Amino acid sequence: MAVARTVVVKAVNAGLWSLQRSRSRSLQQAQTVRALSAIMSPPSKAVVYEHHGPPDSVTRLIELSPVEVKENQVCVKMLASPINPSDINRIEGVYPVRPQVPAVGGYEGVGEVYSVGSAVTGLSAGDLVIPSPPSSGTWQTYVVKDQDMWHKISKDSPIEYAATVTVNPLTALRMLEDFVTLNSGDSIVQNGATSIVGQCVIQLARFRGIHSINIIRDRAGSDEVKERLKALGADEVFTESQLEVKNVKGLLSNIPEPTLGFNCIGGNAASLVLKFLRQGGTMVTYGGMSKKPITVSTSLFIFKDLSLRGFWLQKWLSADKAKECRDMVDYLLCLAQEGKLKYEMELVPFDNFRTALDKALGKLGSQPKQVIKF
């Protein structure tokens, strides 16, 4: 009996071992099948920086290996992405919010869906999408992000406007709506009028029947710049030197004193905006291109009761505004598609990134917004 029991036990153990080995082999085969069937992105060419510093010194163009497109992710073939001042500041390490290094440059752009994960709904290959809210890493040929990061837009959207719609036009729209109630017939004043934000402010204000007073730098060709801005809808355009008078309001013809001003430069250019504002007016600062402080006279605060505010789009976007942001992006793209919103840009092939970067850094004088085309 003992011998028979031993034989039975050995037989059972042998069967269990065989079953375990069979299950292990099946599991390995299943894992192999899953690995072979995993969706992978193509190799990607990207502009990366491994530490902060001057963008023309620390960035380099490299090839990135394919990455897995997980079940809730979307792989997008990028079509275009701009070089914004904030992109440069992130690379320099001076922007308040920036990705950890090493990082891929870029923050906004437009692309075409290349492939989607198994659990993705609402997006399919060929759809035109933008990262919304914008996120780092758009200076590369293929980007893989969760489906919630992508916003599907009309295929009729002009590519260069789709690539640039979020950071600058949206800033212009929010500043016109968030600080002072403006009615048709009111006026605003701004410096940096030739910037994309400035050009958008002029046009969006005009749609609402709001007058715009615009300040530009003294430079060669300023008369041509004035005409271009007036063609967009600017009511008045002054160079800084024209405003070196005691009473700037005497330069206005049938335009009420502005209640709202926008400053993206600082220094004397900011003071000129303040000189125009009426009693109780507000100046909103959204940039500091001159890297000079804003100086306000005591009398302006006491006798005119002026207010100084700041606007940072990234903070606004982080306040659970994704749905509102996408609705406004669609509105702005509709205007661009209809030719009602336009601004100067230069599309540059990705292989010429270095030249585009030099232009964005101001090495080659005043240049249009540089937009990389992949």
Structure tokens at 131: 């990262």
Using an 8 Å Cβ cutoff, are 170 and 329 in contact?
yes
Cis peptide before 66 (omega within 30 of 0): no
Strands 142-146 and 282-285: unpaired
Ordered strands of the 307-310 beta sheet? 236-239, 211-216, 187-190, 260-263, 282-285, 307-310
**Separation of alpha carbons 126 and 370, rounded Å:** 25
Dump the DSSP string for 4-39.
Answer: HHHHHHHHHHHHHHHHHHHHHHHHHHHHHHHHHH--
How far apart, in whole angstroms, are the C-alpha atoms of residue 169 and residue 332? 7
User: Do the Cβ atoms of 107 and 136 come closer than 8 Å?
Assistant: yes
Q: Which one of 95, 107, 161, 331 is the catalytic residue?
A: 95
DSSP code at position 335: H
Length of the chain: 374
Q: Is 95 a catalytic residue?
A: yes
Is the sign of the CA dihedral 95, 370, 368, 363 positive or negative?
positive
Residue with the two structure tokens 């042998």? 14
Contact 139, 81 (CB under 8 A): yes
Whether the Cβ atoms of residue 61 and residue 135 lie closer than 8 Å to each other: no
Q: Which helix (H) or strand (E) holds 180?
A: none
- CB 285 within 8 Å of CB 310: yes
Spatial contact of 105 and 60, defined as CB atoms under 8 Å apart: no
Alpha-carbon torsion, ordered 312, 315, 318, 322, to 10 deg: -30
Residues belonging to the active site: 95
